[in-house]
Structure 1
Amino acid sequence: MAGTPYAVDRGVVLRETETKETDKILTLLTWEAGKIGVIARGARRKNCKFAAAAQPLAYAEWTLYQRKDWHYASDASTLDLFPGLRGDLTALALGCYMAELTEAVCPEDVPAPELLRHLLNGLYALSTLRKPPALVKPAFELRLLCLAGYEPLADACALCGKEDPAEPVLDTVQGV
């Protein structure tokens, strides 16, 4: 992204921070650039052309340019706002939690398409498929840990060595 004046990339807004009178600083997870900070000037104005795309959990196609260490939003078009989340407080809270976890495990400026795909799948499961949050949450967390390199050893019992123990237990402290 640094070599071209403008770059187009799709990504999810993981976090927003209001700054100045009408601006936002967004944390985006994109396909090409990974997790990046983006200054969205005027994103809090009513007539801003990318106000909808600059809200948490919005998936959009962004036109960005880079100046020094920051990316700046030039334009954005919304691809999915996950409307099923907006009408269900529990699903919205879980979606925000999933974005926060993803942000925590994702390194800066390193493409992480598998993490973005996983987050989009989780948001889709809640919003469109209307899967129960009680099922989505642990499945999302476990897969995210695996993608982040914290996969538990579950091919055999750590105590007895059997591949199919009679009463399997996951020891999260030991990771076995």
Structure 2
Amino acid sequence: MVQTRGQRSVFVTVGTTKFEALIKAVDTPEFAAALAAKGYSQLIIQKGAGEYVPCKLLPAGATSAEHASGLKVQYFDFSPSLSEYISSAALIISHAGSGSIFETLHAGKPLIVVPNPLLMDNHQAELGNHLAAMQAVVCAAPDELLSAVTSLDTSQLKPFPAKNACGIIEKVDDFMGRHRATS
């Protein structure tokens, strides 16, 4: 289910990965209350390949319900495309995968990036911190997410200039030792 008319939706995505800490961070009554206090009315969680099932905001066995905070909550594992969820959301909270980040930025949506601290290298944190320094996103660790939402002022985020993606891609390619063929 995608956001319905008149609702301000928050979409949380882990893409095709497993990121239990992010899903657990959004599955708390405190997080739901913070979203409701900010005027959001719906929380949609795409949990990916993780085993953790949102259980603090939803009754056992339910994939959607209204929480006591007034927030409508739902989750799902995967979808063939996340574009519709991204385009209809008022706020995106995403793992720090470059595909999810750039799809959200190109859609012009406010974004909180959450790097996965369990990955062996810190490329997600580097990308998230770089974009946060550009003021294009807010970057927060899973245990900082509640605070990030509470203090979030989306008007302070700057639009991401599409032309800069090539520079970042080239830097990532250089870092990974990939060399692109020139025409």
- TM-score for the superposition, normalised by structure 1: 0.29
More helix, by proportion: 2
Structure with greater Cα Rg: 1
The structure with more strand, counted as a fraction of residues: 1
Q: TM-score, normalised by structure 2?
A: 0.28
